[in-house]
Structure 1
Amino acid sequence: MQLQVALDVLDLPSALALANQVAEHVDILELGTPLVKSAGIAAVTAIKAAHPDKLVFADLKTADAGALEAELAFEAGADLVTVMGAVDDDTVRGAVAAGEKYGKQVVADMISVVDGRVARIREVAKLGVSFVEIHAGLDEQARPGYSIAQLLTDGREAGVAFSIAGGVKADTIASVREAGAVVAVAGGAIYGAADPGAAAAELKKRATG
């Protein structure tokens, strides 16, 4: 299982500083959606230039014009890009076609899909995405009683390649691995730590068993 860090900061200098702290311990560097909106697509190029040996994930959360937005990210240096799993199938197909053109990966983000999530995961997997991200956003995680358990249950049931984002931390990452995820996405557990590098190292250790 690979470890992905969400660089959920709002400016490029902060993103570069955080990436420098954690890169040796993670497999994928993700530019969070707010970072891309704030710093622009050029931030993807900057992160890739600073860490050419890492996979760079542009979390665009594309909802329309799948091919166009995916191509923007791939041209900027992204290795992976997200398209929303809830959108029109042709939007997903467009992003996938761009991925095939550039030899890159497209991930379907299932954020906001709750009812019928397993069925939709299976549907978008058939559209050719590399894997599906079963994702609980920050607003959902803030609700009383939130648990990562349902994400893991849906991943097991779906039977396709999936990642987990939403509550991945030191005491849950082993269960993410055991559920069969191909990628565990950690955000606050790393960037919110007093020592992000040490937090990333600990997560990587637990991710690999």
Structure 2
Amino acid sequence: MPRSLPMLQIALDNQSMADAFKSTRLVAHAVDVIEVGTILCVAEGVRAVSELKALYPDKIVLADAKIADAGLILSKMCFEAKADWITVICCADINTVKGALKTAREYGGDVQVELTGYWTWEQAAAWYEAGIRQVVYHRARDAQAAGQNWGEADISAIRRLADMGFKVTVTGGLALEDLPLFKAIPIHVFIAGRSIRDAADPAAAALAFRERIAALWG
């Protein structure tokens, strides 16, 4: 039986809806998940989620809210805006995670724990026990800016998370040439933001990611 191909997600860290729409018009046809990035969430609020879901009802729309507290309230706001998935930050209390997951199940959605910053394997086990099945392994934007590349520690952690039973999303300045690093791991989603949005031809860049994913995981 063939393996499932990793999905492709576009991160919309635009600072306005007008700018976000410029990106989606070019690449929505070539991606599986449309992410309302944290920057766009702050700039435009949950209306960004509802407007994008209305335009692209056949796509998974993720509200990258990085919820740290008030899990029940904030998750409800996102799901009422028609988000399919939301994110909770890894430093959040386990009860915040459980609250967000409870709301997600009521709306038929899902929760990803965003692994940005410090977290432990004990926390990972607790998330899994609580019912979390999606995590996002995130090479932080500031780490990228400091010149930190993908390393063996990253690959080992991603492999361990997958072995625990998590569906792992990978993000953090991903470039096309980085994809072979993850070939032996059943990645759930690859997120590309600037490498697609800022390309000379964003549509071609998105299709190049899809073709490389199919070649490596097909």
Structure 1 length as normaliser, TM-score?
0.93
Aligned residues: 207
Q: Structure 1's 169 and 46: CA in aligned 2 closer, same or farther, altered over 3 A?
A: same
Measure, in 1, the Cα distance between the counterparts of 2:207 and 2:17. 23
Query: What is the deviation of 1:146?
Result: 2.8
Root-mean-square deviation (CA), in Å?
1.5
Q: Name the aligned partner's letter for residue 111 of structure 1.
A: T
Task: Judge conservation of contact 2:35–2:63 (CA < 8 Å) in 1.
Answer: yes
Q: Mark the CA change 1:123 to 1:36 in structure 2 (over 3 Å): closer, same or farther.
A: same
Residues 155 and 19 (structure 1 numbering): CA distance in 2 closer, same or farther, change over 3 Å? Answer: same
Q: CA deviation at 1:155?
A: 1.2
Map of 2:137 onto structure 1: 134
Counterpart of 2:3 in structure 1 is none
SS of alignment partner, residue 14 of structure 2: coil
2:154 alignment partner AA: L
How far, CA to CA, are the matches of 2:203 and 2:152 in structure 1? 26
TM-superposition CA deviations, 1:80-120 (whole Å, max 9, x none)? 00001221000000000001100101100010126x3x443
- The whole-number CA distance in structure 2 between the counterparts of 1:181 and 1:47 is 25
Separation (CA, whole Å) in 2 of partners of 1:148 and 1:131 = 22
Preserved CA contact (<8 Å) 2:36 2:64: yes
Give the ranges of 4+ consecutive aligned residues of structure 1 lying more than 4 Å apart after TM superposition. none
**Structure-1 separation of matches of 2:149 and 2:79:** 34
The amino acid of 1:49's aligned partner reads A
Question: Which segments of 5 or more consecutive residues in structure 1 lack a partner in the other structure?
Answer: none
How far apart are residue 149 of structure 1 and its match? 4.3
* Contact kept in structure 2, 1:152 and 1:164, CA below 8 Å: no
Matching residue within 188, 198, 207 for 1:192: 198
Please, which runs of 5 or more residues in structure 2 have no aligned partner?
1-5
Mapped to 2, the partners of 1:152 and 1:144 lie a distance apart of: 17
Distance 1:83 1:206 in 2: 30
